[in-house]
Each structure stands twice: as structure tokens, then as C-alpha cells.
């Protein structure tokens, strides 16, 4: 699965578990560390773990496993690193504090609000 397709698949999986404020940032022209960020907001620690578990379980079925996972014990920011795609699952206040969207403001970004949006197309 190519990285763009993986990013949009992850966005759809987040929608399955009612994650909100989902964005995909294309970092491929800005850095070599990863191609895409998928960023979302959740309401509570339990919600964060549910989103994380759903992503991991569904991608495992496709034989895709994260290279690294961080933040599970705290759950205000869970990071799933799939190498070419890095997923950030934030509680609202933590997302506002770190403001990754501003840090990577030059990236092409797409907001994902529903299944229709979760198809590979970009706007700046």
C-alpha cells in the first residue's frame, strides 16, 4: 500500500471510531522523515485508545504494523509511526498546545469530515 493510500485508509478508520478534526498533511516535499501526518482529536483517554486499537487491528488484517507507538500510558497524545505515515491522536487541549498544523503550515493539507472526504485529493 502506498503512503498516500495508507494515510487516507487511516483517516477512514478514525472516522469509524468518531475521531474529529481529522487532517492529512503531505510532508513529502518538506522533509524526509515521513510522507504524511494524519492528525485527529478525541474526547477522552478511552476514546484515544479505542481509535488507536481500531487502526492497529484493521491494518494488522492487511499485514501492516506500526514501526513504533508512543503515548499509550498517558493517552493525551498517542503517536503511531508507520514510517511513511505518522498518526497523531490528540486530546483537544494537547493538540492546541503543540499545534502541529502550524509547525508544518507549508504542507498541503486536507480536512477529512466524512467518508466522501477520505479520498486522495488535496487543497492548500
Q: Provide the pLDDT for residue 122.
A: 47
Which stretches of the chain drop beneath a pLDDT of 50? 122-124
Q: Which three cell numbers stand for residue 26?
A: 503531505
Query: What is the Cα–Cα distance from 83 to 54, expressed in whole angstroms?
Result: 18
Q: Provide the pLDDT for residue 121.
A: 56
Give the Å distances, CA to CA, from 91 to 14, 57, 95: 14, 21, 6
Give the residue extent of every domain in the chain. Answer: 3-113
Q: Provide the pLDDT for residue 10.
A: 97
Q: Provide the pLDDT for residue 120.
A: 65
Q: Provide the pLDDT for residue 1.
A: 65
Query: What is the Cα–Cα distance from 54 to 52, expressed in whole angstroms?
Result: 5
Q: Which three cell numbers stand for residue 59?
A: 491494518
Q: Provide the pLDDT for residue 73.
A: 83
For the chain, report the end-to-end CA distance as a whole number of angstroms.
24
| Pairing of β 36-42 and β 20-26 | antiparallel
Torsions phi, psi for 51 (to 5 deg):
-65, -45
Q: Provide the pLDDT for residue 116.
A: 67
What are residue 110's DSSP bridge partners? 24
| CATH code matching the domain that covers 3-113, chosen among 3.30.830.10, 3.30.470.20, 3.30.460.10, 3.30.499.10 | 3.30.460.10
Q: Provide the pLDDT for residue 123.
A: 42
- 0.85 surpassed by pTM: yes
Amino acid at each position: 500500500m502506498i503512503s498516500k493510500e495508507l494515510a487516507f485508509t487511516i483517516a477512514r478508520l478514525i472516522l469509524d471510531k468518531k475521531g474529529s478534526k481529522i487532517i492529512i498533511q503531505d510532508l513529502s516535499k518538506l522533509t524526509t522523515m515521513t510522507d504524511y501526518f494524519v492528525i485527529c482529536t478525541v474526547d477522552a483517554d478511552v476514546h484515544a485508545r479505542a481509535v488507536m486499537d481500531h487502526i492497529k487491528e484493521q491494518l494488522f488484517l492487511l499485514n501492516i504494523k506500526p514501526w513504533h507507538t508512543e503515548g499509550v500510558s498517558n493517552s493525551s497524545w498517542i503517536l503511531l509511526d508507520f514510517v511513511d505515515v505518522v498518526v497523531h491522536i490528540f486530546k483537544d487541549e494537547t493538540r492546541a498546545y503543540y499545534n502541529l498544523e502550524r509547525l508544518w503550515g507549508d504542507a498541503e493539507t486536507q480536512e477529512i469530515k466524512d467518508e466522501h472526504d477520505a479520498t486522495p485529493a488535496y487543497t492548500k
